[in-house]
Structure 1
Amino acid sequence: MVELITATNRDARAGLLRGMHADRKAVFVDRLKWQVPVVDDRYEMDEFDTEHALYLVAADPSSGMHLGSVRLLPTTRRHLLGDIFPMLVDGDVPRGPDVLEVTRLCTSPLLADWEAHNAVRERLATALIEYALVAGITRYTMVTHMAYLSQLLSTGWDVEPLGLPKEIGGQLLGALMVTVKPETLTLFRARFALPDQVLRLDLSR
């Protein structure tokens, strides 16, 4: 299952969040050499990891280990595309209570092989659609390395570019928008052979 972690249940899931931030540090800082903040030399956390951030986190059911996660940021507040990378958008940055930004997609570096990484990402992608349909989210925005664009398109997302890619910090980045549709959820569940629901919305634990 994939868990939704918010300000409501964050204290109860503190251990899982620590695992997430540690894996983010291992992936983004140690492996990819991103110049982003690190807390206590162990956890990748930036200015957007606030009480307003939401997290979808896949955890191992037996050990509770973090397997993968994404961060969702309200676009009605400060967020990466609107406040750090607006130059990637031709025109206005999409904002609104029905628009969330997807950031920090991370899978655990301890997963055995690429198939395991893909399986976690498939569950997270499905959970994103499930959450959007429940919460009234109509669109997701994201900043991505253009090398990953083909992966996004092949998965079945309804994706459109928000502007031409630009080289920033030596990397080609682009801004994308995903339109949420019920048929995307049907497609994902069939393509990935997933159960009827992968997202757990119980905020009491």
Structure 2
Amino acid sequence: MIRLVDNNNRYRSAEALTAMHMDRKRVFVDGLKWNIPVVDGRYEIDEFDNEHAVYLIATRPGTNEHLGSVRLLPTTRKHLLGDIFPMLVEGEIPRGPDVFEITRLCTSPHLADAETHRAVRQQLAMAVIEYALTTGITRYTMMTHMAFLSPLLALGWDCEPLGLPQDIGGQMLGALQVNVHPSTLQLFRSQFEISGPVLRLDLAE
């Protein structure tokens, strides 16, 4: 199952959040060499990791071991595409209470093999759609490296480019809008052979 963490249960999920921030540092700073903030030399935490952020976190059953996670940001407030990378969008940046931004998709570098990485990412993809359908989100925005675009489309996401890719820090990045449909969730469940919900919504822990 995927754990939903927001401002309502953040204090009860401190261990899972700490493990997530440690893995984000290992992946994005140590591995990908992103020039982003690091706290105490161990945790990747930026200005958007605030009370408005929503996290979907995959943990090992019965523990707080981080397997993978994604951060969702409301576009009605400051967010990456709208305030840091607006140059990636041609025209108006999608904003509104029904539009959230997907950021910091991360799988733990400690996962055993590529198949496990794939399984965690599949569950996170389903959880992103389940969360949207539950909360009234109709669209997501996101940035992606162009090398990841084909695999993203192959999964069945309904994506629209928001502008031409640009070289940012030596890497080609593009901005996308992802349209949310119940049919996308049905497609994912069929492809991934997962019959029921993966996102835990009760916020009990």
Q: State the secondary structure of the residue aligned to 1:185.
A: helix
Residues of 2 paired with 1:100 and 1:155: CA distance? 20
SS of structure 2 residue aligned to 1:4? strand
Give the equivalent residue in structure 2 for 1:29.
29
Q: Secondary structure at the match of 2:11?
A: coil
Does the residue aligned with 2:12 lie in a helix, a strand or coil? coil
The structural deviation recorded for 1:63 is: 3.0
**Percentage of pairs with the same residue:** 67
Equivalent position SS for 1:13: helix
| RMSD, aligned α-carbons | 0.7
Secondary structure of the residue aligned to 1:7 is coil
Counterpart residue type for residue 54 of structure 1: V
Gaps of 5+ in 2: none
Moved over 4 A (4+): none
Aligned to 1:107: 107
What is the distance in 2 between the residues matched to 1:196 and 1:114? 24
In structure 2, what is the equivalent of residue 123 of structure 1?
123
Partner of 1:44: 44
Q: Secondary structure at the match of 2:130?
A: helix
TM-score (norm 1): 0.99
The aligned amino acid for 1:112 is A
Report the Cα distance in structure 2 between the residues aligned to 1:139 and 1:174, rounded to whole angstroms: 17
How far has the Cα of 1:171 moved from its partner?
0.6
Q: Is the 8 A contact 2:140 2:178 kept in 1?
A: yes
Q: Which runs of 5+ in 1 are unaligned?
A: none
User: How far is 1:186 from its partner?
Assistant: 0.4
Q: How many residue pairs get matched?
A: 205
Q: Deviations over 1:92-135 (max 9, x none)?
A: 00000000000000000000111111100000000011010000
CA distance in 2, matches of 1:44, 1:194: 32
How far apart in 2 are the matches of 1:90 and 1:99? 17
Letter in 2 for 1:76: T
Q: Does 1:201 align with 2:204?
A: no
| 1:143 corresponds to 2:143 | yes
Q: Distance in 2 between matches of 1:191 and 1:41?
A: 40
